[in-house]
Chains A and B, each alone.
Chain A
Amino acid sequence: MPEAPRPSPRNAIGSLVLIAAVVAVAAAAFAYTGGWFSPQRLTPQKLVDGFDLGSAPPLGHRRNHAKGICFTGMFESNGAGSELSRAQVFAKGQYPVVGRFNLATADANAEDAKVRVRGLGLMISTPDGQEWRMAMIDPPFFAVSTPEAFHELQIASASKEPDAMAKFVGANPEFAAFGGWAKSAPWTGSYAEEPYNGLNSFIFTDNSGNDHAVRWSLTPAAQPVPVPPEELAKRGPNFLETEITDRIKNGPARWTMRVTVANPGDQTADPSKAWPEDRRSVEVGALIVQQIEPEADGPCRDINFDPAVLPNGIRTSDDPFPAARSSAYRVSYDRRTAEEKDYPRTATGAAQ
């Protein structure tokens, strides 16, 4: 047997200790990166758990905006958006969409008249193989300034302590404006009469490579008719879904998409602060909803309307929400797709 110049036993022990130390440091660095030593870190799992603090999770459903109904249709671009973004979606033309009307609740069986915030998820596909996904809501500004504040709101809302919400509003005064909207904004009897606002700011890049900070919104073509919520409650727990299904059977519903451009110096990081009314806005096209399908078997069911799925020509800004939403939507998607058996398909799809 050839005998290599092996170290003495004492040196060998030193070497073994060194090897163990190298492996331990590498493993610790990995654990640190994964947050095992940082219990304070706001993780997407915590954000998603936050929706279940007050009640059992809606197994098989989205963890927030759990109740919804699918639609398909098209985005009809008028070409005006090309001035702001080189994304193909703004070139004049028609592009197919899959979307979802929904209610901002963690209860998949919520009564429609009891949920204040309504939303719309949308995915627009273009021939270049790219997609623009978004999830919008009907208030004109967001409830809080940061993802951390949102998590505190989740905790305060679920808290049994009587002054939890008062303390929260004290620490996050921007929430008062949202509370004001929730109290005073009229309710309507249809998803088709709601505006849907993107709220988060993004950066559009035009063909010359110039950046524009923007927000976007959808304005309904249907005239909103205010109806008191007590009146809506009499229409049944699913009146919004029944109404939109019947409405679209008689013809498509339309929304105008407007892109609002920030002035230099406008803050872009805080979606709880609307930009002044006089900012330039460009009408870029229309969303046309042509068909409604129940969610259980519908095309929106297994789509994640992840607001960070953006075509070339649109990217995120310093607004921290799209990243936080993207990471949390991902966790919600991972959970609900693993619970498929808890949300059975209706098989025929014709039951409704």
Chain B
Amino acid sequence: MTNIQRNRPITIIHRFNPLQRTLHWLMAVCILAMLFIGVGMVSTVAPKYLNLINIHKPLGILILILALIRLVVRLRYGAPPLPLDLPEPMKLAAYLSHYALYALMIAMPLIGWAMLSAAEYPVVIWPGIWLPQILPLDPSLHTLLWNAHFYLAFLFFALILMHLAAALFHALIRRDGVFDAMGPALTHDEIAPAE
């Protein structure tokens, strides 16, 4: 515990701000729900198919809105620096995976909306509220977007699993404060000096 003092300036003061943390955890719930709903709805003919797809569309639009807000907040407030002693490959993986996660959070709902538009399917986000079509009817575009939506969904889930593994690696093994930077609450007793 003696070295914790020396870590503080790097890892403990620099947490994501409360708005960023709220957005992160809210979106974590939404995106995980979205991916499970997606993979579930395409594999059943049961009545829940309609319930799931009727959630999938508005939830996707909600995620798009939250992702755009989050991007602005991130550009405005930045992120805490990674620990100085984090190996370079891990730093690179952290940067790249976060670019990919942001790209997917924004792209997936747009691809889904565009895919539905290219097939002239409505995007109903509330009873009686139908979003405009963002592409004309076009079977080959529909196929392209369908493939993108399908395969990127699995990539997205894989990235989230990697993200989760890395977060737990930081929390349980490195214990370097990276997890606490986004953690819902501090897991250690480091708050006192700031008070």
> A-side interface residues toward B, CB under 8 Å?
1-7, 12, 15-16, 18-20, 22-23, 26-27, 29-30, 33-35, 41-44, 47, 128-131, 147, 302-304, 306, 308-309, 311-312, 316, 318, 320, 322-324, 326-328, 333-334, 337-338, 340
CB closest chain-A residue, reference B147 = A338
Taking the closest CB of chain A, its distance from the CB of B117, in whole angstroms, is 12
CB closest chain-B residue, reference A13 = B173
In the complex, what residues of B have CB within 8 A of residue A44's CB? 42-45, 49
CB closest chain-A residue, reference B3 = A3
CB closest chain-A residue, reference B45 = A324
Among A6, A33, A308, A324, which residue has the most Cβ atoms of chain B within 10 A?
A33
Interface pair A326/B49, CB less than 8 Å apart: yes
In the complex, what residues of A have CB within 8 A of residue B43's CB? 33-35, 41, 43-44
Name B46's contact: one of A33, A302, A323 (CB within 8 Å).
A323
Taking the closest CB of chain B, its distance from the CB of A202, in whole angstroms, is 12
Interface pair A27/B161, CB less than 8 Å apart: yes
Interface positions, chain B 47-68, Cβ under 8 Å from A, are: 47-50
In the complex, what residues of A have CB within 8 A of residue B42's CB? 34, 44, 327
Pairs of residues from A and B, 5 with the lowest C-beta to C-beta distance, nearest first: A312-B128, A337-B139, A35-B43, A15-B172, A324-B45
In the complex, what residues of B have CB within 8 A of residue A334's CB? 143, 146
Q: A30-B39, A34-B40 are known contacts; what are 20 more A-B pairs with Cβ within 8 Å?
A: A5-B3, A15-B168, A15-B172, A19-B168, A22-B168, A23-B164, A29-B36, A33-B39, A129-B132, A303-B120, A309-B122, A316-B50, A324-B46, A324-B49, A327-B42, A327-B44, A333-B119, A334-B146, A338-B146, A340-B140
CB closest chain-A residue, reference B160 = A26
User: How many B residues touch the partner, as a band?
Assistant: 35 or more
Interface pair A130/B165, CB less than 8 Å apart: no
Q: In whole angstroms, how far apart are the Cα atoms of A106 and B123 in the complex? A: 29
Q: In whole angstroms, how far apart are the Cα atoms of A294 and B47 in the complex? A: 34
In the complex, what residues of B have CB within 8 A of residue A35's CB? 40, 43-44
In the complex, what residues of B have CB within 8 A of residue A337's CB? 119, 139-140, 142-143
Taking the closest CB of chain B, its distance from the CB of A157, in whole angstroms, is 18
In the complex, what residues of B have CB within 8 A of residue A328's CB? 45
Name A43's contact: one of B44, B47, B120 (CB within 8 Å).
B44
Interface assignment of B175: CB less than 8 Å from any CB of chain A: yes
In the complex, what residues of A have CB within 8 A of residue B45's CB? 42-44, 47, 147, 323-324, 327-328
Interface assignment of B16: CB less than 8 Å from any CB of chain A: no
In the complex, what residues of B have CB within 8 A of residue A16's CB? 173
In the complex, what residues of B have CB within 8 A of residue A323's CB? 45-50
In the complex, what residues of B have CB within 8 A of residue A302's CB? 119-120, 137, 139
In the complex, what residues of B have CB within 8 A of residue A27's CB? 161
Q: List 25 A-B contacts (CB under 8 A).
A: A2-B3, A4-B7, A5-B1, A5-B175, A6-B175, A22-B165, A23-B164, A26-B161, A29-B36, A30-B157, A43-B43, A43-B44, A302-B119, A302-B139, A303-B120, A304-B119, A309-B122, A316-B47, A322-B50, A326-B49, A327-B45, A337-B139, A338-B139, A338-B143, A340-B143
Interface pair B175/A7, CB less than 8 Å apart: yes
CB closest chain-B residue, reference A325 = B45
Q: From DSSP, what is the main secondary structure of chain B's interface residues? A: helix
Q: In whole angstroms, how far apart are the Cα atoms of A244 and B73 in the complex? A: 61
In the complex, what residues of B have CB within 8 A of residue A4's CB? 3-4, 7, 174-177
Interface pair B143/A19, CB less than 8 Å apart: no
Q: In whole angstroms, how far apart are the Cα atoms of A316 and B44 in the complex? A: 17
Q: What mask results when residues 163 to 195 of chain B are scored 1 for a CB within 8 Å of chain A, else 0? A: 011001100111111000000000000000000
Q: In whole angstroms, how far apart are the Cα atoms of A27 and B165 in the complex? A: 12
Interface pair A30/B35, CB less than 8 Å apart: yes
In the complex, what residues of A have CB within 8 A of residue B121's CB? 304, 306, 309
Q: In whole angstroms, how far apart are the Cα atoms of A23 and B130 in the complex? A: 38
Taking the closest CB of chain B, its distance from the CB of A48, in whole angstroms, is 10
Among A1, A15, A323, which residue has the most Cβ atoms of chain B within 10 A?
A323
Q: In whole angstroms, how far apart are the Cα atoms of A1 and B173 in the complex? A: 17
A340 and B172 contact, Cβ closer than 8 Å, known pairs A4-B7, A33-B36, A322-B50: no
Name B47's contact: one of A6, A20, A320 (CB within 8 Å).
A320
Name A19's contact: one of B3, B84, B119, B165 (CB within 8 Å).
B165
In the complex, what residues of B have CB within 8 A of residue A3's CB? 3
Name B84's contact: one of A2, A303, A327 (CB within 8 Å).
A2
Interface positions, chain B 25-43, Cβ under 8 Å from A, are: 35-36, 39-43
Q: In whole angstroms, how far apart are the Cα atoms of A30 and B121 in the complex? A: 26
Name A30's contact: one of B36, B48, B168 (CB within 8 Å).
B36
Interface assignment of B88: CB less than 8 Å from any CB of chain A: no
Name B139's contact: one of A2, A15, A340 (CB within 8 Å).
A340
Q: In whole angstroms, how far apart are the Cα atoms of A5 and B4 in the complex? A: 8
Q: In whole angstroms, how far apart are the Cα atoms of A20 and B121 in the complex? A: 40
CB closest chain-A residue, reference B169 = A19
In the complex, what residues of B have CB within 8 A of residue A22's CB? 164-165, 168
